[in-house]
Amino acid sequence: MNKVGIAAYGITPFSKEDKKIENLLMDSVVDLFVKNPKIDKKNIEGVMVSTNNNSKYLGPIVAEMAGIQPKTTISIENLCNSGTNSIVSAYSYIASGLVDMVLVSGAERFDSPGQILDWDNSRGQFKHPIFWASLFTKSYKNHFSVSDEDLAIVSVKNHKQAKSNPNSLSNKTFSVEDVIKSKQITEDLRLLDCSRSCTGSASIVLASEKIMKDITSEPIWISGIGQKTTSAGFTKNNSFHSMESTKEASNTALKMANKEIKDIDVVELHDAFSVCEPMALESMGFSDNGKSMRMIKELHQTDNFKINPRGGLIGTGHPLGATGIAQTIEVVQQLQDRADSRQIDNVTTGLVHNMSAAATSSTVLVLEK
Amino acid sequence: MSFEENLSKGQFLIPKCTQCKKIIWPSSDYCSYCFGKIELKKQDFEAKIVEFSKKNDDYFCLVEIENSFRIIAKTYQTPTIGKIVSISKCGIKDRDYFFEIN
């Protein structure tokens, strides 16, 4: 299998802008090519588009708009982890030797149809994500004697970290009291516990080891990939206070990278709602079950940005098709020592966790210098 | 009649595989274990609240049916975990299923 790495990225600020999906995709594609003049468009052999938007034929459309004539074009939709699924697809094409360089571009509009999984009728009339998130939160709080105030720290921390991210939707800091007093969405969920659907775009170029040295002096290698889908329907989850798919995906990715969880220096994880951060940390093995709020509090109190340095989904916003790519870009920037005021010291190994539909599907990537 | 045709008339039937006899949820044309055909059984079944939360005045409950599958159902009564309930109302509205328990 060919070694595969990330050669370049482009990203634009997340917003509530009303813009056509094709133009949105191009925003980060153009940012990527302008900032990486060594990448010759003629050598892009694959264009992969990650989005939940209903527009058709977006791979060829982006290729045409960018002046690329690739061998392969595809669109990838897997709800909220479309982005990392696209990266894994690009990796697979390159690792197999079919192509040497792929452009992956993800984008979403604020009004994405990917927020609701119409098929999942087990949820009855409660199909909006706030309902599964409320049940996760209630289950997690009851099982581990965690309070609303404890969970509010996730939002406080990630909004604080997002303030150092020029691309984030949020530019405000909040106290635990602010979170608790924010609009009550359900008995177990407040507005500031929720990531917000928004408009955003992120692009990345993956390349084989063979051509990498010609296009960048700072490649970041994908050393581990783990994916697991346990079901499509939320109610098929075996546990409502842990993430089975995340646990399996994380174990697979770490094994492939020949790493242990203690080797991970920085993490971007899928905090769609406050409770998702402790659940994901525990499922990946950063802490025993029910104990990770202690770790999160300590990280917050010491201004340690190890978990979700860009502000996670809660602080940065959640443009579904772009999210996994934006998470990956953050870990790449951390590994390249280019994360400005968010930079963590001595980063050699990073991890991306991106999931869909109440953790029914998870992707975990391990990245290294 | 299909599961949905029955549901739209307020009847909640249990989908079972004609070959392996397992309950298959959500109802489908084929069994997800053995690809056998599915039949709909009109039978008494046990429904139990396994988790719940509340939005405004409505509780929404995760309800486990026959120790096999789960749905999210609405109730106006204060729920408790482990409480045995029955489906008092069900149907399809604006293409979405709805379930109420008491």
List Cα–Cα distances, A313 to A238, A274, B41, B56, B59, in angstroms: 25, 10, 44, 26, 28
Express each pLDDT in B81-92 by its tens digit.
Answer: 999 999 999 999
Q: Is there a contact between B60 and A187 if contact means CB atoms under 8 Å apart?
A: no
- At residue A192, the 3 state secondary structure works out as helix
B-chain CB neighbours of A127 within 8 Å are 96
| Closest alpha carbon to A312 in A159, A150, A207, A179 | A159
Q: What residues have CB less than 8 Å from A79, skipping those under 6 apart? A: A52, A114, A117, A320, A356, A357, A361
ipTM value: 0.96
Q: In CATH, what is the architecture of A120-196+222-368?
A: 3-Layer(aba) Sandwich (3.40)
Q: Which of B4, B5, B60 would best serve as a mutation to test chain A binding (most A beta carbons within 10 A)?
A: B60
Express each pLDDT in A114-157 by its tens digit.
Answer: 999 999 999 999 999 999 999 999 999 999 999 999 999 999 99
Average pLDDT value over all residues in chain A: 97
Q: Is there a contact between B52 and A135 if contact means CB atoms under 8 Å apart?
A: yes
Q: What's the pLDDT score for residue A264? A: 98
A-chain CB neighbours of B74 within 8 Å are 124-126
Q: By the 8 A CB rule, do A31 and A12 touch?
A: yes
Which residues sit opposite B75 in a β-bridge?
B59
> What is the spatial distance between Cα A78 and Cα A86, in angstroms, rounded to a whole number?
9
Tell me, yes or no, if B57 comes closer than 8 A to chain A by beta carbon: no
CATH of domain A4-114+198-221: 3.40.47.10
B-chain CB neighbours of A131 within 8 Å are 53, 55, 60, 72
A-chain CB neighbours of B58 within 8 Å are none
Which residues sit opposite B71 in a β-bridge?
B63
- At residue A314, the 3 state secondary structure works out as helix
Q: Where in chain A is the domain with CATH 3.40.47.10?
A: 4-114+198-221, 120-196+222-368
> What is the spatial distance between Cα A315 and Cα A223, in angstroms, rounded to a whole number?
28
Instruction: Choose the closest CB to A233 out of B26, B54, B93.
Output: B26
| Closest alpha carbon to A115 in A14, A194, A24 | A194
Q: By the 8 A CB rule, do A347 and A334 touch?
A: yes
A-chain CB neighbours of B51 within 8 Å are 135, 138-139, 240
- At residue A253, the 3 state secondary structure works out as helix
In terms of CA atoms, which chain B residue is nearest residue A116?
Answer: B96
Q: By the 8 A CB rule, do A328 and A352 touch?
A: yes
Q: Is there a contact between A123 and B72 if contact means CB atoms under 8 Å apart?
A: yes
pLDDT category, B40, cuts 50, 70, 90?
very high
CB atoms < 10 A from the CB of A46, how many? 24
A-chain CB neighbours of B25 within 8 Å are 122
Q: By the 8 A CB rule, do A250 and A284 touch?
A: yes
Instruction: Choose the closest CB to A122 out of B51, B70, B95.
Output: B70
The position carrying tokens 């402790």 is A278
Q: What's the pLDDT score for residue A304? A: 98
| Closest alpha carbon to A331 in A259, A266, A254, A261 | A266
Question: First vs last Cα of chain B: how many Å apart?
Answer: 26
Q: What residues have CB less than 8 Å from A262, skipping those under 6 apart? A: none
Tell me, yes or no, if B74 comes closer than 8 A to chain A by beta carbon: yes
Tell me, yes or no, if B89 comes closer than 8 A to chain A by beta carbon: no
Q: Is there a contact between A124 and B26 if contact means CB atoms under 8 Å apart?
A: no
A→B interface, C-beta within 8 Å: 118, 121-127, 130-131, 134-135, 137-139, 185-189, 233, 235-236, 240
B-chain CB neighbours of A137 within 8 Å are 53
Q: By the 8 A CB rule, do A215 and A335 touch?
A: no
> What is the spatial distance between Cα A118 and Cα A127, in angstroms, rounded to a whole number?
7
List domains and CATH numbers for chain B: 1-43 (no CATH), 44-102 (2.40.50)
Q: By the 8 A CB rule, do A141 and A147 touch?
A: yes
> What is the spatial distance between Cα A28 and Cα A12, in angstroms, rounded to a whole number?
6
| Closest alpha carbon to A282 in A158, A140, A170 | A140
Q: Is there a contact between A124 and B73 if contact means CB atoms under 8 Å apart?
A: yes
Span B63-86, mean pLDDT? 96
pLDDT tens sequence for chain A (369 residues): 899 999 999 999 999 999 999 999 999 999 999 999 999 999 999 999 999 999 999 999 999 999 999 999 999 999 999 999 999 999 999 999 999 999 999 999 999 999 999 999 999 999 999 999 999 999 999 999 999 999 999 999 999 999 999 999 999 999 999 999 999 999 999 999 999 999 999 999 999 999 999 999 999 999 999 999 999 999 999 999 999 999 999 999 999 999 999 999 999 999 999 999 999 999 999 999 999 999 999 999 999 999 999 999 999 999 999 999 999 999 999 999 999 999 999 999 999 999 999 999 999 999 999
Tell me, yes or no, if B12 comes closer than 8 A to chain A by beta carbon: no
Q: What's the pLDDT score for residue B54? A: 97
A-chain CB neighbours of B52 within 8 Å are 135, 138
Q: Is there a contact between B53 and A233 if contact means CB atoms under 8 Å apart?
A: no
